[in-house]
């Protein structure tokens, strides 16, 4: 195993948040889509909480224009804190200070939105020569089914990069990156031999979709710098991973996939976003019972 791969601790998380959020316009005209509430918390806060729970205490947001709401959310709001303190509303006071104290948060601007690969390349200076995790805000992983610790174990064992895969119906594979894989002796780990970004159903090399959690070797930066625009004219992270999958281990190459079978909520388009909000709200002890009762009555009357 390469020196670089030998069990370096993973401390840093990168969260791209520079997209236009076009599927949610006009809500996202002046606000990043990552700030859309999932029940009563912005989607992005779930993602940061997941990173922190996995021991990542340094979070870098890759932002675009409208980063203001993000920065404000993870900063103190002293006026609001004072109002809640005077009212004696400790519960809400804890809620508003929670996001501030979660992690050390940093920001870098992407400039031009040239694709996910380009967004990750913006993190190079901050990350340096360490392995790091990329978390995409569209995928929420249930905190009861954490996947990052397993991905870290796989990296510690084999080095290289580790991606998160999920079995999806063949007809929806064209929404995702899709790997060609070889099985290993551990049931939930596969070797990634090739990758295609959003293939047509007929040319999909497997039924696995790449989910928005990546544990990347820093070798990815050099590869990304040489990656030409791919699908949709964008610099694709999937294309860089494809190169990494074929590179030797002593150069930081090698890609493994961990197959996730836990609960995941997709907030990437309007219908799945609404489904995620309803699912999570139904499980909440404070509002769940009332919502479930209403939902059953409502559903019974649907045409
Ligand atoms: C991105 C990646 C894709 C991956 C997906 C996971 O696509 O390019 O490979 O499967 O995230 O959510 P996006 O959904 O940003 O178009």
The residue with tokens 């990437």 is 268
- Does one domain contain both 152 and 297? no
Q: What is the pTM of this model?
A: 0.93
* Strand ranges, E, within 64-188: 104-109, 132-135, 139-141, 161-167, 177-183
Task: Give the Å distance between the CA of 237 and the centre of ligand 1.
Answer: 9
Q: Are residues 193 and 213 in the same domain?
A: yes
Is any atom of ligand 1 closer than 6 Å to the C-beta of 139?
yes
Q: Which residues lie below 8 Å from residue 169, measured CB to CB, with a gap of 6+?
A: 207
Are residues 31 and 173 both part of a single domain?
yes
Residue length, the chain? 303
The mean pLDDT value for 17-40 works out to 90
CB atoms within 10 A of CB 199: 17
pLDDT at 282: 96
Confidence of residue 213 (pLDDT cuts 50, 70, 90): very high
Q: Phi and psi for 34 in degrees, rounded to 5?
A: -65, -15
CATH number (domain holding residue 33)? 3.90.550.10
Q: Are residues 279 and 254 part of one domain?
A: no
My answer on whether 278 and 259 are in the same domain is no
CA of residue 177 to ligand 1 center, whole Å: 6
Concatenating the DSSP letter of every residue in 98-163 gives HHHHSSEEEEEE-SS---HHHHHHTTHHHH-SS-EEEE-TTEEE-TTS--HHHHHHHHHHH-SEEE
Residue 4 forms part of a structural domain: no
> Per-residue pLDDT tens for 59-97?
999 998 778 888 899 888 899 999 999 999 999 999 888
Same domain, 166 and 296: no
Quick check: CB of 116 below 6 Å from ligand 1? yes
Residues 159 and 294 in one domain: no
Q: Count structural domains, the chain.
A: 2
197 lines ligand 1 (CB under 6 A): yes
Q: Residue 64: which domain range?
A: 12-268
Sequence-ordered list of residues with C-beta below 8 angstroms from that of 156, at least 6 positions apart, any chain: 7
Query: Is residue 201 located within the same domain as residue 145?
Result: yes
Q: What is the pLDDT of residue 174?
A: 94
Residue 115 lies in a domain: yes
| Distance from residue 211's CA to the centre of ligand 1 (Å) | 7
Atom 13 of ligand 1, residue of closest alpha carbon: 176
Is the domain of 166 the same as that of 56? Answer: yes
Residues 47, 63, single domain; the answer is yes
Ligand 1 pocket test, candidate residues 16, 62, 110, 136, most atoms within 8 A of CB: 136
Distance between CA atoms of 81 and 121, rounded to whole angstroms? Answer: 37
Rounded to whole angstroms, how far apart are CA atoms 121 and 45? Answer: 23
């Amino acid at each position: 195993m390469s020196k670089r791969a030998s069990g370096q601790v993973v401390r840093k998380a990168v969260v791209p948040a520079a997209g236009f959020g076009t599927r949610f316009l006009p809500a996202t005209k002046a606000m990043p889509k990552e700030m859309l509430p999932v029940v009563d918390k912005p989607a992005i806060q779930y993602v940061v909480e997941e990173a922190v729970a996995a021991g990542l205490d340094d979070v870098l947001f890759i932002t675009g224009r409208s980063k203001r709401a993000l920065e404000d959310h993870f900063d103190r709001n002293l006026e609001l804190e004072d109002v809640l303190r005077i009212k004696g509303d400790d519960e809400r006071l804890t809620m508003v200070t929670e996001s501030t104290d979660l992690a050390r948060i940093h920001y870098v601007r992407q400039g031009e939105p040239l694709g996910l690969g380009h967004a990750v390349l913006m993190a190079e200076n901050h990350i340096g020569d360490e392995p790091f995790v990329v978390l995409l805000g569209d995928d929420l992983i249930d905190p009861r089914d954490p996947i990052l610790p397993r991905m870290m174990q796989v990296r510690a064992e084999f080095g290289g990069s580790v991606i998160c895969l999920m079995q999806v119906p063949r007809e929806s594979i064209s929404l995702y990156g899709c790997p060609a894989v070889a099985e290993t002796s551990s049931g939930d780990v596969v070797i990634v031999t090739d990758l295609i970004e959003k293939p047509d159903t007929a040319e999909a090399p497997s039924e696995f979709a790449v989910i928005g959690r990546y544990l990347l070797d820093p070798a990815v930066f050099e590869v990304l710098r040489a990656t030409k625009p791919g699908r949709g004219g964008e610099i694709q992270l999937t294309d860089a991973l494809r190169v990494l999958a074929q590179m030797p281990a002593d150069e930081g190459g090698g890609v493994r996939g961990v197959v996730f079978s836990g609960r995941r909520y997709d907030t990437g388009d309007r219908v799945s976003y609404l489904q995620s909000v309803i699912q999570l709200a139904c499980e909440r002890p404070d509002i769940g019972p009332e919502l479930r009762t209403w939902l059953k009555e409502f559903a019974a009357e649907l045409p």
